[in-house]
Structure 1
Amino acid sequence: MESPANTPPSLLDRIRSRRLTTTFTILATLSAGILIGSIMTSNVSGHQVDSSDAKPLVIPSPVELSNGFSKIVKEVSPAVVNINTEELPKQGVNRRGRHAQQNPDDDDNSDDSQQQPDNNMQDFFNHFFGGQGGDDGADNSERRALGSGFIVDPRGYIITNNHVIDKADKIYVKLSTDPDNDPGDNGRPATVVGVDRDTDIAVIKIDTKQPLPTIKLGNSEGAQVGDWVLAIGSPFALSKTVTAGIISAKNRTIDEPGPDGVSQSQFQHFIQTDAAINPGNSGGPLVDMAGQVVGMNTAIYTQSMGSQGVGFAMPSNTIAQVYNMLISPEHKVVRGSIGITFQQGLNSAVNRVYDFASGVIVSTVTPNGGAAKAGIQPGDVIVSIDGRNIKDGDDLVNDISNRKVGSTVKLGYLRNGKQGTAAVVIQDRNKTYAELTGDQDDNTPETPQPPDAGKSLLGITVASIPSGVTAKTGQKNGVIITSVRPGSFADEIGLPKGFIITEINKKAVTDQASYRAIVSSLKSKDDVVFVVQSPLEKNTNSYIGGTLP
């Protein structure tokens, strides 16, 4: 009987057989390697090396490096303080804050109202940064914020940014000698001496029984682009932090027009630096190599909420002028005004058509202001002050604002190509600006206002149309948007601050009462369409809408 023939192994069987052979070979090789390595290691560690000829390392005595940074820090850092604030829950209070520019170191306060009209830098600076370790929640929650400051008087007078302490119910100061690691110790209570929102400068004071270390102010006019500077403060709650850089530029402005077209930051001309400035640095000093303050760290330009090498500091010369007025018996800054607005950034074509080489074209004249009483009209070109030719709007503002209220100035102007002069009485800028915008004095205490029906739902606050805007636009009915909260519904759909709301969902807005009635009827998922007008143009409607979240 024939036996069956042997069947040749299949392809799969051959692959499996080879895999097993390969696997065993690899394991055997690894085992041999491990064994050999263990033996060699045992042989190496088994020998004792005679190290009697080795010399111990010696830590050298401290030496001062040539850059001198450490010497400056030792001199000035005792006068740099940490400031933390508390804002208690409030109901039905319409509060105002610091204006925010392109992410100013102004986010030292977490309150959304920091982004509101009068110096909403603030921001910048938006405003610059979020609150340090604070509660950023709803309106009925407590908020905390951190910033920096520096002592300029041994009796306890401290300079900081207004946006650091703005809207705070409690302000605490920690000195450089106070412990950092005690969470229950907020520091020494401080009181506000005075604030100037136009420059974002504030003066606070703490009580002290012993003279405190101080820091000297230098002359910012002498600071040059390329000079070394040190920024000192408490970024991210890390007190006594020092960063170094240079002065990158001077006389930087970050313009944010107000509802009437008037710049809200025309008194803010910054020193730019690449020294790292981060959330919490606001109010801290920018120090030169002589150990003197040449600026106060105020804002940053950032797309990451952190330093990107573009920081801004208020010059020390401006700080000194404002400080001296804030510690005066009136505790307020008074600036001169002639009661006009003008357009910045005119080009050569405008100059040629209006036939002037330098000066400013008057846009509006405040009723009952000094210029109006002297006969100045919109369209006039102001070319000189007391016989001195002016270069531009900044030159005009700087000259007029430094003059005493009640004094008289001689303006030279052009009207239809003809020269003229006018004797203008200087008035208080706060009063003329308030009349133009329908706003109250920026530096006076605020009184509680009824709740704004659109604040929580839409994210805006509104007011009656100022007389100056009405005179310019002819628009009497409606309400003007005084603030837009960042991240709100209004912000998302692009509703602009300073514009006039005349309709909501085809319903006429005639005043604040009609506005509140319409808004109170809105609810989540409703489509909302606003008809708005620019305060700078007549009879030009824009339609802006979206769906409520």
Structure 2
Amino acid sequence: MRFNLKKIAVLGGATLAGMLAVATGERHASAQFLDQLLGGGSAEPKVERQVPTSREVVQYSFSPIVRRAAPAVVNVYVQRRVQTFSSPFANDPFFRQFFGDAFGQPSERIQSSLGSGVIVSPDGIVVTNTHVIRGRGEAEIRVALADKREFDARVISQDDKTDITVLKIDAGAQTFPTLDFEDSDSLEVGDMVLAIGNPFGVGQTVTSGIVSALARTEVGRHEGQIFIQTDAAINPGNSGGALVDMSGKLVGINTMIFSQSGGSQGIGFAIPSNLVKLYVEGAVEGRPIERPWLGARLETVTRDMADALGLSRVAGAVVARVSDRGPAAEAGLEAGDVIVHVDGFEVADARAVQYRLTTRGVGSTVRLDVIRKGQPQTVELPLIAAPEPGRDDVRNLVGRHPLDGARVSNILPGVADELGIDEAAGVVVVSVRRGSTAARLGFQPGDVIVEIGEAPVANVGDLEALLAGRQRLWSVAVRRADKVFNLQVPG
């Protein structure tokens, strides 16, 4: 076999010219380029060579993108005063009740943490992660810009479930560089992205990578959490920093890594910009984010479910239960339906459905593509807010009993949807105050109090009455997921 070396040299020149043309924004006619690449045609076109006119032509560089995005990425420093005791037992309130401070005097120390943030409004609105700010004690928040200016900041909105916190820089009428939001739904796997933040506190750092996956839900702790996965290096301190695309726009807020060593393993996760934008707009307008009320319980399709329902793929969300008079029932959803698309977007599991509903927002209508008894169906679902609990439906429990520090509620349809539980008898724990008796005993949001002693608990009124007395031994029956636990605590 003989090779035409002249033709190979020309092809090499044409390929290089094509690459340079792409770098400078030019485009070859596709037919001519393919013909040249495949050796078609009798005449070999002359390759025009030019001296490179810019650095971008000679060497592809992210520097124009970084120059545009980096000024809006800030370092977030948090300091708080916390009390410590010299005795390892002195933090226990029961120990201190009997022995006072005889075995350890309290002292204050400064606890510091750091992370990153992104300025998204010229008047100093900054978005970061809740876990960067969250902690015990009143926090002093300081924001440092890339140009070394520093300002105090305050929290205007905080959400634990999405890990999104919105700050406001206290700087009067000054204006700041910003990053524009990009539609995170426009991302595709393989797209180039940059991660900008302050890893390990060394200062602003830029790393590059690609979008490794979209709509990751398995790594989140809460319903509705969904992530962009990237192999751009993300390390501790990058939390709250920017994930930007090749146009220099914000596509995500870096939030966590998957690592056994604590360092970057090429598996990082970012909150999509569409969800971040929703929370920023709510914070600026001074309104809470209302998660749409579905009025149904969803479960992620498993392999066994797929086999039983005759599905060709192990993907989607099965409607396990439909509440009476809820939006799902009024729209015509039925138990056993499998939701596979929301407004044309494929959904892999139940969390992905909740994310799509949340980003669409209360007041809109979404189209659900479902499989019902093996046949495709379309359902139009109006998105409305869940009914607000009444004053008699919620209690903050305080007293000398195991549930001190727990906020509990009657199991209403909206509450059941929010916490992913069935509408059944009992009272559900909505939240637990840090450091409280309930927290130390391990109570969690979603736990359902079924019995106190041997007396059933039907509503918050029953629960309060049963907790009002003194007991030598408290016995509490708690339903968590599909199991019931009996907790016994000395009175």
Equivalent AA in structure 2 for residue 513 of structure 1: E
**1:268 and 2:226 matched:** yes
Q: 2:75 aligns with which of 77, 82, 85?
A: 82
Instruction: With the length of structure 1 as denominator, give the TM-score of the two structures.
Output: 0.55
Give the aligned partner of residue 478 of structure 2: 532
User: Are the equivalent residues in 2 in contact too, given 1:533–1:542 (CA < 8 A)?
Assistant: yes
Give the aligned partner of residue 308 of structure 2: 353
Give the aligned partner of residue 164 of structure 1: 132
Question: Pairwise mapping of residues 486-501 of structure 1 onto structure 2 (< 5 A)?
Answer: 498-501=446-449
Equivalent AA in structure 1 for residue 177 of structure 2: P
Distance 1:459 1:143, change over 3 A: farther
Give the aligned partner of residue 153 of structure 2: 190
Distance 1:459 1:240, change over 3 A: farther
Give the Å deviation of 1:465: 4.6
Give the Å deviation of 1:489: 9.7
Give the aligned partner of residue 117 of structure 2: 149
Question: Pairwise mapping of residues 20-169 of structure 1 onto structure 2 (< 5 A)?
Answer: 68=61, 75-85=68-78, 145-165=113-133
Q: Distance in 2 between matches of 1:309 and 1:148?
A: 19
What do the CA deviations read for 1:5-63 (whole angstroms, capped 9, x no partner)? xxxxxxxxxxxxxxxxxxxxxxxxxxxxxxxxxxxxxxxxxxxxxxxxxxxxxxxxxx9
User: Are the equivalent residues in 1 in contact too, given 2:217–2:351 (CA < 8 A)?
Assistant: no
Q: Distance in 2 between matches of 1:255 and 1:519?
A: 43
Question: Pairwise mapping of residues 390-401 of structure 1 onto structure 2 (< 5 A)?
Answer: 392=348, 393=350, 396-397=353-354, 400-401=357-358
**1:211 and 2:164 matched:** no
Tell me the SS of whatever aligns to 2:229: strand
Equivalent AA in structure 2 for residue 339 of structure 1: G
Quick check: 305-314 or 506-515, which moved more? 506-515
Distance 1:410 1:290, change over 3 A: closer
**1:338 and 2:290 matched:** no
Instruction: With the length of structure 2 as denominator, give the TM-score of the two structures.
Output: 0.61
Give the Å deviation of 1:293: 3.5
Unaligned 5+ segments in structure 2 are: 1-54, 84-104
Equivalent AA in structure 2 for residue 371 of structure 1: A
User: Are the equivalent residues in 1 in contact too, given 2:157–2:165 (CA < 8 A)?
Assistant: yes
Tell me the SS of whatever aligns to 2:71: helix
Tell me the SS of whatever aligns to 1:164: helix
Tell me the SS of whatever aligns to 2:305: helix
Give the aligned partner of residue 295 of structure 1: 252
Give the aligned partner of residue 205 of structure 2: 242
Give the Å deviation of 1:401: 3.8
Give the Å deviation of 1:344: 0.8
Give the Å deviation of 1:343: 0.4
Tell me the SS of whatever aligns to 1:343: strand
Give the Å deviation of 1:405: 3.7
Give the Å deviation of 1:513: 3.0
Q: Distance in 2 between matches of 1:470 and 1:335?
A: 13
Give the Å deviation of 1:275: 0.7
Distance 1:294 1:473, change over 3 A: closer
Give the aligned partner of residue 513 of structure 1: 464
Equivalent AA in structure 2 for residue 189 of structure 1: D
Q: Distance in 1 between matches of 2:330 and 2:409?
A: 26
Q: 1:370 aligns with which of 306, 318, 327?
A: 327
Distance 1:390 1:208, change over 3 A: same
Q: Distance in 2 between matches of 1:268 and 1:353?
A: 27
Give the Å deviation of 1:285: 1.5
Quick check: 389-398 or 148-157, which moved more? 389-398
Bigger fraction of residues in strand: 2
Larger radius of gyration: 1
Give the Å deviation of 1:219: 5.5
Q: Distance in 2 between matches of 1:459 and 1:513?
A: 11
What do the CA deviations read for 1:259-299 (whole angstroms, capped 9, x no partner)? xxxx8342422233351320x33211134565444421112
Distance 1:158 1:482, change over 3 A: closer
Aligned residues: 398
Q: Distance in 1 between matches of 2:211 and 2:367?
A: 38
What do the CA deviations read for 1:399-447 (whole angstroms, capped 9, x no partner)? 544546445567676766788876643212xx36x76xx999xxxxxxx
Equivalent AA in structure 1 for residue 196 of structure 2: A
Question: Pairwise mapping of residues 332-481 of structure 1 onto structure 2 (< 5 A)?
Answer: 332-347=288-303, 349-357=304-312, 360-374=317-331, 376-382=333-339, 392=348, 393=350, 396-397=353-354, 400-403=357-360, 405-407=362-364, 424-428=381-385, 431=386, 449=396, 451=398, 461=406, 463-468=408-413, 476-477=425-426, 480=429
Distance 1:290 1:405, change over 3 A: closer
Distance 1:439 1:365, change over 3 A: farther
Q: What is the root-mean-square deviation of aligned Cα atoms in Å?
A: 5.2
Give the Å deviation of 1:84: 3.3
User: Are the equivalent residues in 1 in contact too, given 2:366–2:383 (CA < 8 A)?
Assistant: yes
Q: Distance in 2 between matches of 1:372 and 1:341?
A: 12
Tell me the SS of whatever aligns to 2:132: helix
Tell me the SS of whatever aligns to 1:266: coil
Equivalent AA in structure 2 for residue 343 of structure 1: E
Q: Distance in 1 between matches of 2:323 and 2:368?
A: 16
Equivalent AA in structure 2 for residue 285 of structure 1: A
Q: Distance in 1 between matches of 2:297 and 2:165?
A: 27
Q: 2:238 aligns with which of 252, 264, 281?
A: 281
Q: Distance in 1 between matches of 2:139 and 2:180?
A: 29
Equivalent AA in structure 2 for residue 296 of structure 1: I
Quick check: 481-490 or 195-204, which moved more? 481-490
Equivalent AA in structure 1 for residue 117 of structure 2: G
Q: Distance in 1 between matches of 2:268 and 2:379?
A: 42
Distance 1:225 1:423, change over 3 A: closer
User: Are the equivalent residues in 1 in contact too, given 2:278–2:359 (CA < 8 A)?
Assistant: no
State percent identity of aligned pairs. Answer: 28
Equivalent AA in structure 2 for residue 370 of structure 1: P
Unaligned 5+ segments in structure 1 are: 1-62, 91-136, 180-186, 258-262, 441-447, 523-527
Give the Å deviation of 1:309: 4.3
Equivalent AA in structure 2 for residue 345 of structure 1: V
Quick check: 473-482 or 308-317, which moved more? 473-482
User: Are the equivalent residues in 2 in contact too, given 1:342–1:361 (CA < 8 A)?
Assistant: yes
Equivalent AA in structure 2 for residue 176 of structure 1: A
Tell me the SS of whatever aligns to 1:246: strand
Give the aligned partner of residue 272 of structure 2: 315
Q: Distance in 1 between matches of 2:449 and 2:328?
A: 30
Q: Distance in 2 between matches of 1:319 and 1:241?
A: 22
Tell me the SS of whatever aligns to 1:199: coil
